[in-house]
Amino acid sequence: MREFLSSKTRLAMLAIAAFSVLNAGCSTLVASAAGGLADNLSTAILNQDDPQTVRDGAPAYLLLLDSFAEGSPKNPDILSSSANLYASYGAIFAGDEARAARMTGRARDYSERAICISYKRSCNWKDDTYDEFLGSLKGLKKKHAKYVYSYAISSLAYIRAHSGDWNALAELPQMEALLNRYLEISDANVEASVHTYLGILSSLRPPSLGGEPEKAREHFEKAIALTQGRDLSVKVEFARGYARLMYERELHDKLLHEVLAADPRQDGYTLTNVLAQQDALALLASADDYF
């Protein structure tokens, strides 16, 4: 589980990417405004090359989304928009553990409300056994995809922020199953990020303890192909998750040097690429001690 908790970027990259699946078909003028603002903010965040600017500027938008949620408490689009930004901010920019726990807790609350409104069976997920949870996923359709994604990413951000709670960590298998179901019902435009996260989940444990590193490698390679190598965070997670787990030093260093040699300014990936290059430097600096 340590590898899941160690990266400051892996949850943020997915939560930020969730903005791109918000649609504009909201049922009220307020909802349309919220959706449009979320889309515009998504573009601004993803193309920002100074993480501190995002850290300083996003809280004002969090309050704005809170106000939309207060005014339309049963609109799943507004709730999922709010969940996505709280999850990304709490995962990477909160600054301290207590604040991260609060912000990701709010993200999860918003996302639970959104999925419950759109898919009634999900309202009981917290009380379900694992088998009951798996059975409930069969009823999810394409129309539920964005709320499923928001719920999964908010939950993963929450789990990371509550790493001392074994009850929270025990939910990781459910989140893996939910992301796999998401791939079955979603459009293709966000599949790359989900493959990255499934790669991370598959490489949390060595094969002797039930891990599936070769499946992880397939997910990472799929994500690299889908993004045409423009999302540098995939290679960082490939190195951190698979190469370190399998003690493949040559692959580890090759991936990270490719990250550092690349231009981070790529449309839709600039922020996460800047963060990925910071992580790549740290991983290379610790490689001699690790291998």
pLDDT in tens, 201-220: 888 888 887 889 999 999 99
- Asked if residue 233 lies in contact with residue 249, where contact means CB atoms within 8 angstroms, the answer is no
Instruction: Delimit the domains of the chain by residue range.
Output: 1-184, 187-291
Q: Is 3.40.50.970 the CATH classification of the domain at 187-291?
A: no
Determine what percent of the chain falls in helix, strand and coil, rounding each to the nearest 5.
80, 0, 20
For the chain, how big is the Rg over CA atoms in Å? Answer: 18
**Mean pLDDT confidence for 97-101:** 92
Contact (Cβ atoms closer than 8 angstroms) between residue 280 and residue 256: yes
Question: What percent of the chain shows pLDDT beyond 90?
Answer: 56
**Better-predicted residue by pLDDT, 4 or 223:** 223
The pLDDT of residue 92 is: 82
Alpha-carbon span 124 to 46, nearest angstrom: 34
d(CA 271, CA 4): 20
211: tokens are 């891990």
| Of 102, 68, 70, nearest in space to 86 by CA | 102
Helix axes 97-118, 76-92, angle to 10 degrees: 160
- DSSP one-letter code for 98: H
Cβ atoms 25, 288 nearer than 8 A: no
Name residues whose C-beta falls within 8 Å of residue 136's C-beta, 6 or more positions apart in sequence: 121, 122, 124, 125, 128
Q: Which tokens belong to 33?
A: 């405004």
Residue 87 to residue 18: CA distance in whole angstroms: 10
Instruction: State pTM to two decimals.
Output: 0.82
The predicted structure's pLDDT at residue 20: 42
Q: What percent of the chain has pLDDT over 70?
A: 85
